[in-house]
Amino acid sequence: MPRIYLDATGDGAYSLTVAFPSVQLALAFIAAASIGVAACTSRDLHASQRNGPHYDRILATAVQRGVPGIQAHVTHGATEWSGVAGLAYVESAEVMTPAHRVRTASITKMLTYAAVMELVRTGRLSLTDRAVHRMPPGTLDGIPHANDITIAHLLDHTSGLHNYNGENGAEFFAQLFADSARGSRAWDPKRLLAFARNPAHPPTARPGERRAYSSTGYSVLELIIQHAERTKTYAQVLRERVFMPLGMTHSCVEGTDCHASDIAPSYARPGERSGPTPFERRSAARRDGLVNLSAGLRNYNAWAGAGGAVASTASDLARFMAAVRAGRITVLRDQAGELARVAARPNGTLAWHGGTWGVSASIIYDPGRDITVIVLTNASNAGPSSADVARQLLDVARRQSTVKDTARGQPDVIDVFTQLKPNLAPDVQLRRFLEISIATRQFNAAQFSAVYACRDREDYMEGRWVADFHVLGVDISSDSTVEGTAILTSVARAKESATGYVAEVGVREDTAR
């Protein structure tokens, strides 16, 4: 059983010592800014706030690992950073720029959600409207429970409609890739509803019973939007209701107001997926087998419509997310309440992801720290995914958040901790210490190690230490002693496997890559 000592050492500093049978870990903290294993100087604090080089390295590493091109944007409060790396066009070695449009796949659904909510706000639609009453008669004939589906059900993936391009989407993809005219065809969302009529694809549930992701639902919403606005296409409504008001000048809907020649190509390496794929009769653009899937097509992803046809830039999506953060745009039911609930969770985030062959896009929002991370890549199955890169950028931004919170003069962990009664049992002291650390977002590898020493106590935080330790994206340093190394190795494994609370909000990768 370890012993824990907290002693004042003068000059505002305190020493927390965790004594093991054959090793002592002496952990020093500075009351004004406890952000590392060692005491931190003002120069260290300033340097840690300049995250640009760290972000740049993350993008460069992604390219080194196989991603052709990548755009990223990080917003942290009032601070913004944008970066690009790699190539937009592999064959001609044209470098990626912030102005290159990149396909977003199911991130499109966020934009569709926003457009529908704008129509609701202006009285054109209501969330309780029945879908069958908001489109031409007979449109949903033959679809089970169609009369009970509301606009709210469609937005929130509770309609029960079969997902035509999901795990059971082989029939759709067989038709898509067998269609020699797919790149020039004007896609009608009504065509996609046929898959929900097929008895081989029964509903996942009755409307409103449970959540089951459905791109088909967003095809229905596209029809509802166009019927509500009569003479306007989905692309026109999106442009007028979302793109233009928010200054999203580089965003467009493929197949309507932009085409493949206006968008960075989509690349992928063939994977192990069986069944129809877009790789047939295509040669590699790179020695590792990377293939340009959109080459020679007038449109590549136009078939996805309101569920996935938008091409955009990281900067445009940052403008969109700024409007979401400010409450000007709605992408969630009870948006203010949901953001508050997520912010109250340890490491709480909202995540939107889009992906298909040649497309990987991610938006992660941490409302508690007001951090937004956007990553777009022009590839799949080639290096890390957009979600992997986004999480790395978020980790860096969160470490910055810890420094900022301390610098702003929040109550210091040690100041509060020293007010605890000295006769508290060691495990209780550490429990309180952790609670205060989390509350003030002051946490570091040394504190992590100290609290970890009580990990095997049955009464400690009801086994929640892994999730709690992960709250602030702690970095683990090394220790030269045998026991210390073993402890820190175990801690590193724990941190690697720990996951924060993530709310997936109706957007995901539609196809395996």
Task: Report pLDDT digits (tens) over 344-363.
Answer: 888 899 999 999 999 999 99
Q: Identify the pLDDT of residue 185.
A: 84
Domain check: are 421 and 370 in the same one? no
CA–CA separation, 62 vs 377, rounded Å?
10
- Does the residue 54 lie in any domain? no
CA–CA separation, 314 vs 363, rounded Å?
9
The CA angle 213-126-141, to the nearest 5 degrees, is 60
Domain check: are 78 and 41 in the same one? no
Q: Of 369, 397, 425, which residue sits at a domain end?
A: 397
Q: Identify the pLDDT of residue 168.
A: 82
Domain check: are 117 and 256 in the same one? yes
Domain check: are 428 and 361 in the same one? no
- Does the residue 458 lie in any domain? yes
Residue 402 main-chain phi, psi, to 5 deg: -60, -45
Domain check: are 393 and 411 in the same one? no
Residue 282 main-chain phi, psi, to 5 deg: -125, 135
What's the N-to-C CA distance of the chain in angstroms? 49
Domain check: are 41 and 162 in the same one? no
pLDDT tens for the chain, residues 1 to 513: 333 333 333 333 333 333 333 333 223 222 222 222 222 222 222 333 467 889 999 999 999 999 999 999 999 988 999 999 999 999 999 999 999 999 999 999 999 999 999 999 999 999 999 999 999 999 999 999 999 999 999 999 999 999 999 888 889 999 999 888 889 987 889 999 999 999 999 999 999 999 999 999 999 999 999 999 998 999 999 999 999 999 999 999 999 999 999 999 999 999 766 677 899 889 999 999 999 999 999 999 999 999 999 999 999 999 999 999 999 999 999 999 999 999 988 889 999 999 999 999 999 999 999 999 999 999 999 999 999 999 999 999 998 765 554 444 443 333 334 444 344 454 455 555 555 554 444 444 444 444 444 444 333 333 344 444 443 333 333 334 443 444 444 444 444 443 344 454 544 444 434
- Does the residue 497 lie in any domain? yes
Domain check: are 371 and 411 in the same one? no
Domain assignment of residue 382, given as a range: 68-397
Kindly report, residue by residue over 162-200, the tens digit of the pLDDT. Answer: 999 988 888 999 999 988 888 998 788 999 999 999 999
- Does the residue 448 lie in any domain? yes
> What is the full DSSP assignment across 23-58?
-EEEEEEETT---SSS---HHHHHHHT--HHHHHHH
Q: Identify the pLDDT of residue 448.
A: 46
- Does the residue 61 lie in any domain? no
Q: Identify the pLDDT of residue 50.
A: 61
Domain check: are 137 and 243 in the same one? yes
Q: Of 397, 421, 439, which residue sits at a domain end?
A: 397
Domain check: are 250 and 283 in the same one? yes
Domain check: are 471 and 422 in the same one? yes
Pairing state of beta strands 79-89 and 94-95? antiparallel
Domain check: are 9 and 130 in the same one? no
| Number of domains into which the chain is organized | 2
- Going through 20-171 in order, the beta strands assigned E by DSSP cover 24-30, 69-76, 79-89, 94-95, 102-103
Domain check: are 475 and 329 in the same one? no
Residue 361 main-chain phi, psi, to 5 deg: -140, 140
In CATH, what number is assigned to the domain containing residue 247?
3.40.710.10
